[in-house]
Structures are given as C-alpha cells and as structure tokens.
Amino acid sequence: MVTFANNPQYLGIDIYDDNTIQDRANTLLFNQSSGGCYLQQDTCGRCMDITVMYKVDIKLNANLIFSDAVATGRTLAEATQSVMSHEFGHVLSVDDVPPSGAICDYIQTIMYQDSQTLMRCGKLTPITPCDSNAANDAYSNVHPGPYCGCSGVACT
Ligand SMILES: [Zn+2]
C-alpha cells in the first residue's frame, strides 16, 4: 500500500495489491452520493454531494496486469503504467469510455475500457487533448479534502 497523502487535511489515495478482484484494477471514490447527510453542509462548510472527495482506494490485480503484459508484448512496467494512468483518470472523476472495437488510430483516451487494446496499441499514458480536457472538466468540479461530519444544515 502506498499512501500519497497521510495528512488528514488532504485527500488520501491508497493503492493496494488485491489479486482477488475481477478486474485489473478497481478504483473506489469516497464521496457523498446518497444517504442521510447527502445535500447537507458538512462541519467544514461544504455541501456534502458527489463533488466532495474524501478518500480514494485503488486496488490492483497484479496477476491480471501481468497476463495483459504477456498477451500484448508489453513489459510489466508498461502494462502497470497503462492501468495506473487509466485509474488516475477515475481518481479525477473521469468515467470509462466503453470499448468500441476501434482501431488504434481512433482510440483517443486512456479511459478506453479495454486494457489489452490500450496496451496493444501502445496507449500507456493520457492522450491530449481528449484526456486532459476530460480531466480538467471533471476535476474542476471536485473538491478534495478531509472528512467533516454532517452539520444537519441543508445546502444553500
Ligand atoms: Zn475504468
């Protein structure tokens, strides 16, 4: 596990190995998307909605990433780079782009959902301008920070 920010004042991104998950990676965003505090102010004064990001967990299945590397002729480092670039898109609240059977020239985003196609096509890092624009658009609405409890006051 790598903790990028262990200071409770800042967003924590924890990365774990977990070879039991079904996918190469699984990114879990901890924010407020429902529940009793949803759309109330927290004690830090923010509106508790989906844009307030408290924590992120990234789980990696090293066995599946290694299999992808072997299947696509990539090194393990290249395959991991491709998977991590994709997962950090999710950290920035960018969604997957469903696989379309596109040829390599038409894949313009690291968020393409087929990891082996990304690796086979040499798409190992974010691709500008598609990925940078998507991240800028999504992240401009995200407010990372510490977890602050529910104040009981509705958002204004
Ligand atoms: Zn994804």
pLDDT per position as a tens digit, 25-80: 999 988 888 888 899 998 988 898 888 888 889 999 999 999 999 999 999 999 99
Q: Which of 98, 80, 94, 103 is nearest to 131 (CA)?
A: 94
Residues in the chain: 156
95 CA → ligand 1 middle, Å: 7
Contact 151, 52 (CB under 8 A): no
**How far is Cα 120 from Cα 19, in angstroms, rounded to an integer?**
22
Mean of per-residue pLDDT scores for the chain: 89
82 CA → ligand 1 middle, Å: 11
57 CA → ligand 1 middle, Å: 14
- 29: part of which helix (H) or strand (E)? strand 25-31
Q: In the structure, what pLDDT confidence band is assigned to residue 139 with cuts at 50, 70 and 90?
A: confident
Q: How far is CA 129 from the centre of its chain?
A: 18
149 CA → ligand 1 middle, Å: 29
